[in-house]
Amino acid sequence: MKIQNRRQFLFFVGALIVVAVLICAGCGKKDAARNGAAAGPPPPPTVVVAEVTQKTVPIFSEFVGQTAASQTVEVRARAQGMLEKTFFTEGAVVRKGQILFQIQKSEYQAKVLSAKAAVAKAQADLAQARERVDVIQAESNLAQAQTTHSLARSDLARYVPLAKQNAVTQIDLDAARAKEETAKAEVNAAQATLTNRTAAVKYNIEQAAAVVSAAKADLALAEINLTYCTIYSPITGIIGLQEVNVGNLVGKNEPTLLTTISSSSSLDVDFSISEAYMLQLTKSGKAGARRGVGFQLILADNSIYDQEGRFSVVDRTVDPKTGTIKVRASFPNAANRLRPGQFARVRVAAEERANAVLVPQVAVQELQSAKYVLVVGADNKIVQRTVTVSDRYEDSFIVTDGLKAGERVVTEGVQKVRPGMVVKPTTTAGGAS
């Protein structure tokens, strides 16, 4: 009997607990319903919007190019010897005529002194040859022979009439005639000797003069080779790394590469454009029109170089295989921001688009190859609009269909809204919550 009473008691307690739980749950639902009715509907989400604009804009085209120095010079050793000194800092700007390297030059200085001595000796030999001692002696002998011949001829002329008068013997006449003939032969011999010696002296003078010229040439070459021991910068530009360290032998068998210098005041960018685009750039037809076209350089970090470039060179012919022509634009580089070998994009405006409708690029979304924007209407409701875009201008797309100037598009907060939803628009960046 006690056990049955105990069971009834436990059943009664359990029933009370269940009733209490149900009562509490009912009260909680009533409180939640009351609180919900008091809070009301949630506020509309805030989105950042931008107004669609309309204006005349330039149309840019981009080309991939690579920077190159207008001048690049390899500095090589033209004299053989030990590299003694360097006078520059690698990667720094050097000026034209600035000393860069010094090669050991004692050997070349000795060769210069030897060449100078050879020139002095040759000049002395030339001066001696020009004294014409042998010619002067031959001229004296000829004059003496001519005098003797004149006397013999006078004696013969006097003896001939005397012989006819038998005033002198035939022997005396024959002797006078023989003496005149001998004197005449001596004159001829002296004349021949003078002619030979004159020719010989002329030859000796010319030969000595040639030796002087050769010695002077050797001296000039020795002095030139001596100047090669001191190496100067041929241009103003940025000098590269030093290829040979001090103490090494350079210039043996071939000119040793010491370093390379690239001009830095301006840099060129080479790229290719189509024949049609080239005509578009120069369609004004005025002389020098192509050189007036401005180029922008977009660097690897997508920043725009602050100096505008100009046409420098246009290749002479169009490549028939590709239909393109090589073009070179030159950019000022006084601050040395650009270096040769950089890859960059070249941008140029060839035309203008009048009354172009512009929408920020961040407002354009893509779904299944179709582009759309979320437009905020006058009632602040979201409308999804399919648009057609063409070229880019700065951070905007040019819209050819789907939008008109003055409409508002969502640029921030696109993920939390959907078409038909009422939103709270703001123009403050970062204002979407």
Q: Which CATH number is 136's domain given?
A: 1.10.287.620
- Domain match, 90 and 148 both: no
Q: Is the pLDDT of residue 9 over 60?
A: no
Domain that holds residue 313: 55-68+265-426
Domain assignment present for residue 371? The answer is yes
Structurally, the chain folds into a number of domains equal to 3
Give the other-Cβ count within 10 Å of 66's Cβ.
14
> Which of residues 146 and 2 earns the better pLDDT score?
146
Domain assignment present for residue 335? The answer is yes
8 A C-beta contact, residue 394 and residue 433: no
Domain assignment present for residue 363? The answer is yes
User: What spatial distance separates the first Cα and last Cα of the chain, rounded to whole Å?
Assistant: 71
Whole-angstrom distance, CA of residue 425 vs CA of residue 409 = 10
- Domain match, 241 and 308 both: no
Q: Is the pLDDT of residue 134 over 80?
A: no
pLDDT at 40: 61
pLDDT at 277: 79
Looking at residues 142-158, what average pLDDT do you find? 85
Looking at residues 253-262, what average pLDDT do you find? 93
Domain assignment present for residue 269? The answer is yes
- Domain match, 275 and 419 both: yes
Q: 27: pLDDT confidence band, cut at 50, 70 and 90?
A: low
Which of 173-177, 188-192, 292-296: highest mean pLDDT?
Answer: 188-192
- Domain match, 178 and 89 both: no
pLDDT at 399: 92
Please tell me the pTM assigned to this model. 0.58
Domain assignment present for residue 126? The answer is yes
- Domain match, 241 and 190 both: no
Q: Is the pLDDT of residue 1 over 60?
A: no
Q: Is the pLDDT of residue 3 over 60?
A: no
> Which of residues 409 and 290 earns the better pLDDT score?
409
> Which of residues 400 and 165 earns the better pLDDT score?
400
- Domain match, 200 and 237 both: no
Give the helix/strand (H/E) hosting 249: strand 249-250
Q: 42: pLDDT confidence band, cut at 50, 70 and 90?
A: confident
DSSP notation for 69-136: ES-EEEEEE-S-EEEEEE-S-TTSEE-TT-EEEEE--HHHHHHHHHHHHHHHHHHHHHHHHTT-HHHH
Residue that terminates a domain, selected from 211, 228, 245: 228
8 A C-beta contact, residue 157 and residue 177: no
Q: Is the pLDDT of residue 411 over 70?
A: yes
Give the helix/strand (H/E) hosting 390: strand 382-393
Question: Do strands 249-250 and 237-239 pair parallel, antiparallel, or not at all (unpaired)?
Answer: unpaired
> Which of residues 28 and 273 earns the better pLDDT score?
273
pLDDT at 10: 55
- Domain match, 257 and 271 both: no
Q: 144: pLDDT confidence band, cut at 50, 70 and 90?
A: confident
Q: Is the pLDDT of residue 37 over 50?
A: no
pLDDT in tens, 280-302: 766 644 433 444 568 889 888 88
Looking at residues 180-201, what average pLDDT do you find? 84
- Domain match, 95 and 156 both: no
Domain assignment present for residue 63? The answer is yes
Domain assignment present for residue 35? The answer is no
pLDDT at 284: 47
Looking at residues 123-142, what average pLDDT do you find? 82
CATH code for position 321: 2.40.30.170
pLDDT at 259: 95
Domain assignment present for residue 37? The answer is no
- Domain match, 92 and 177 both: no
pLDDT at 293: 66
Looking at residues 37-42, what average pLDDT do you find? 61
- Domain match, 251 and 289 both: no
DSSP notation for 79-92: S-EEEEEE-S-TTS
Q: Which amino acid is at 421?
A: M
- Domain match, 239 and 96 both: yes
- Domain match, 131 and 239 both: no
CATH code for position 81: 2.40.50.100
Q: 215: pLDDT confidence band, cut at 50, 70 and 90?
A: very high
